[in-house]
Structure 1
C-alpha cells in the first residue's frame, strides 16, 4: 500500500470492495461502466428534457396562440415541483432505489413528452410540466451524484468531474439536435422522437444503475453517536451542522441569480441595442466555457481544494454581474463576461456535488443533497419572476443586475461561513 492504514481506512476499504466487485460482477455492474452510462444518461436527460423548452415556445405560441409568459409559468411550476421532490428522492436513493427512480423517471418523461406532442390545453400543459418537474428531480445531477457516490465511495470527486464534463455538453447536443427536428418535422413530431429516446434512456438506467441489493461503498468514516444518545437520521444530523445553512444560502442565492440571468440575458442585451448575431454568439459561448472550466479542474484537481474552488466561483459571479450592471455592450467586454460567467457556472455544479460530504459529513448523501437542492430549485423557479418584477419597478435592467450582484455576494458569504464552520477538512 502507498498510504498507511491509519490515514485512509475508508479509501482502502472502498478500493477493496470495488476490486472484489470487478472480479465477481458482470461488466455492466463495474464502477467504470456505471459511471459512463450514467454520464451518457445525464447528457441525454439534460439535453432533451431540460434545455429544449425554449425551442418549442415560438412554434407553440404561433399554433396555439398562448402567451410566452403563460408558457414560462408552466416551466417555473415544474422547477418548483422538482425542488419539493428533492428530499424524498434523495432519501430513496440512499436506501438503494436509484434504479427504480431513474428508470421510472425516464419512462414518465417519455410519456409526458408524448402527451406534450398532442397537447392543446394550457391547463393540461401546466399539469404536464408539473409532472416533468418531478421527472427532473429523479433524472438530473443531484440524484445521479447520489447514485455514483454509492458506487465510487471515497473516489467520488473524480467520478463527479467526469459526469459533469459529459453533462456540460448537453446543450451543445440537445439544442441543435432538437432544433433540427423542429425545422424538419415540426414541434409535435419532434417531441415524439424525444419521447422515444427517453424510453431508451430508461432501459439504460434499468440495466446499469445499481439496485438495493448492491452494497454501497462508504465515502468515509461516519461519526460515532455520543454515548447514551439516540442515533439521528442523516438529515436531522445535517441540519444541526452550521455549515449546512451556509450552503443553503450559497446555493439558493446562486439558483435565483442563475435563473434570472438565463431568462433575461437576451432581452437585457437587446435593450442595449446589441445586434442579435452578437447576442446569439455570446449565449453560445457560455456553454463551451462551462466545459472549459471543468476540463481545467480535471487537470488541476489535485492542487485545488473544495474551499479554494468555491472561493474562486463566488468571486467570479459578482464580478460577472457587476460587469453587465456597469453597462458593457461592446463585443470584447461581452466575450469576457461570457468566459467568466460560463467557467464559474460550469464549476459550481461540481462544487455542489463535493460540498456535502466535505462540509457536512459522509452519511445520507442523497437526502442531505436533496435538502440543499430544494431551496435552490425554489429560488431557481422564482428568479425569472423576481427579475421581471424588479425590471418593471425600476424601469430598466441596471438596478436588477446590481441586485443580482448583491445576491451573489450574500451567497459568497454563505459559502465562506460554511467553509469556516465546517469541522471537516476540505
Structure 2
C-alpha cells in the first residue's frame, strides 16, 4: 500500500504542476485571444502568484515541521483549483492579477517542497526512492499541460480551458493526495509527528558562502527556465516553427526531464555530483545556443527542448544533494526552505521579465538574456564544485 500511495502522490504532483504551474504557459495564446490583454498584463498574474509563494514558503515549511504537510497537500490543491475558476470571471487586468494571489497561496504548500518534506518526515531513509519516483512521473507535467491546453483552448477558449483545468484539479488531485496521505501516515517509519526545529541552524548556514552560491545558481537557472517555459510557444514560432510543431516541441521538455533523471540514476557510480552539476548547467547553456540556431533550422527547437529539459530535470534532483554535500544535513528542512526562496522569486519574475525582454529585444533579446543566465549559472557551479567544501 505504501508504494501505491507514493505513486498516487506522483500522479497528484503531475496534475498539480500541469494545472497550477504550467497551465498559464500552455493557455497563453488562447488567453490573449479571449481577453484582448497584452502578454505583460497577463504575465503579471503568475508573477504575483510566485511572489506570494516565496513569501509563504517559510511559513508552510514550518507547518510541515509541525506535522501539517499532509493537510496542505489535500487542502491547497483545492484552493488552487478555486483560484483558477475565479480567474475565468476576471473582468479587468487588475482583478486578474489580484486573483493570482490565490494561486500563489496554493503553490506555497502543494508542490515539490511540501511533498518532499512530508515524505522525508514519514519515510525516513526510504524517502529518497519515493522522491525519485515522484520526479520521474511529475516530470511529464508539461507533456500533459501543453497538448491539453491546446486542445481545451481550441475547443473552449482561454477562459473555458482555465475552468476545465480547475475541475481537473478538484476531481483528481484532492482525492489522490487524500488517500496517499492517509496511507503514508498509517505506515509512518520515521516518526513524522509534530516537532519544533532547533534554533540557529539557518543562521549558521547563511554564514557559509556555499549557501549563497547555491541560491544564486538556482535563482539564475530558474529565471532562465521560467522565461523559456512561459514563452516557449511564442519563441518557437518566432524561430520559424509552425504552431503544431511548437506545441509538440514544448511537450518534449517534460520527457527530457525524465530522461535526464533516469540517465543520472543509471550512471550514479560513474557520474559524481560535481560532474553531474556541471553537465546539467552546461546543458542549460547549450539549450539557449540551440534555440538561437533554430532561427536557421527550426527543427532545432527539439534539440533545445531536450537540452533544457534534461538540464532542469537533473538540477531539480541535484539541489538537495548539493545542499547536503556543501552545508550538511543538520537542519536540512529549514535551510532548504530558505534556499528555495531564490528560485521561487526567479520563477515569479520570469513571466514579467520575459514579457519585457520580448518588448525590448524580441525573441533574440530573450534568447541572449537566457544564455547569459545559463552561462552565469555554469560559472558559479564550477566555483561551487571546485573550491568549496562542506
Q: TM-score, normalised by structure 1?
A: 0.78
- Closer/same/farther in 2, CA of residues 151 and 329 from structure 1, 3 Å limit: farther
The whole-number CA distance in structure 2 between the counterparts of 1:193 and 1:382 is 26
CA distances 1:137-169 after superposition (whole Å, capped 9, x unpaired)? 211112212122223333443322211110011
CA distances 1:147-192 after superposition (whole Å, capped 9, x unpaired)? 2222333344332221111001112223334544444455555444
Is residue 260–residue 384 contact of structure 1 (8 Å, CA) maintained in 2? yes
Structure 1 residues 10-409: aligned runs within 5 Å? 27=1, 30=2, 32-185=3-156, 188=159, 190-200=161-171, 201-209=173-181, 216=190, 232-325=199-292, 328-331=295-298, 333-390=300-357, 392-393=359-360, 395-398=361-364, 400-409=366-375
| Structure 2 portions without partners, runs of 5+ | 193-197
Query: For residue 222 of structure 1, what is the aligned residue in structure 2?
Result: none
Is residue 112–residue 131 contact of structure 1 (8 Å, CA) maintained in 2? yes
CA distances 1:31-69 after superposition (whole Å, capped 9, x unpaired)? x34422221111110112222224444444444443332
Deviates more, 1:239-248 or 1:315-324: 315-324
- Closer/same/farther in 2, CA of residues 156 and 99 from structure 1, 3 Å limit: closer
- Closer/same/farther in 2, CA of residues 187 and 404 from structure 1, 3 Å limit: closer
Is residue 313–residue 348 contact of structure 1 (8 Å, CA) maintained in 2? yes
- Closer/same/farther in 2, CA of residues 396 and 99 from structure 1, 3 Å limit: closer
Pick one of 376, 381, 390 that aligns with 1:415. 381
Question: Secondary structure, in 3 states, of the residue corresponding to 2:296?
Answer: coil
- Closer/same/farther in 2, CA of residues 402 and 182 from structure 1, 3 Å limit: closer
Deviates more, 1:402-411 or 1:180-189: 180-189
Deviates more, 1:317-326 or 1:342-351: 317-326
Deviation at residue 421 of structure 1 after TM alignment:
5.8
- Closer/same/farther in 2, CA of residues 382 and 217 from structure 1, 3 Å limit: same
- Closer/same/farther in 2, CA of residues 234 and 33 from structure 1, 3 Å limit: farther
Deviates more, 1:137-146 or 1:363-372: 363-372
| Structure 1 portions without partners, runs of 5+ | 1-26, 219-230
Question: Secondary structure, in 3 states, of the residue corresponding to 2:252?
Answer: helix
Is residue 90–residue 365 contact of structure 1 (8 Å, CA) maintained in 2? no
Deviates more, 1:324-333 or 1:138-147: 324-333
Deviation at residue 348 of structure 1 after TM alignment:
1.6
The whole-number CA distance in structure 2 between the counterparts of 1:44 and 1:253 is 26
The whole-number CA distance in structure 1 between the counterparts of 2:300 and 2:91 is 43
- Closer/same/farther in 2, CA of residues 301 and 35 from structure 1, 3 Å limit: farther
Deviation at residue 253 of structure 1 after TM alignment:
0.6
- Closer/same/farther in 2, CA of residues 306 and 145 from structure 1, 3 Å limit: farther
The whole-number CA distance in structure 1 between the counterparts of 2:158 and 2:232 is 25
- Closer/same/farther in 2, CA of residues 116 and 344 from structure 1, 3 Å limit: same
Question: Secondary structure, in 3 states, of the residue corresponding to 1:139?
Answer: coil
- Closer/same/farther in 2, CA of residues 154 and 77 from structure 1, 3 Å limit: same
CA distances 1:179-223 after superposition (whole Å, capped 9, x unpaired)? 4444445555544444344334223333332569957369xxxxx
The whole-number CA distance in structure 2 between the counterparts of 1:398 and 1:185 is 33
Deviation at residue 370 of structure 1 after TM alignment:
1.9
Deviates more, 1:371-380 or 1:167-176: 167-176
Q: TM-score, normalised by structure 2?
A: 0.85
The whole-number CA distance in structure 2 between the counterparts of 1:384 and 1:198 is 23
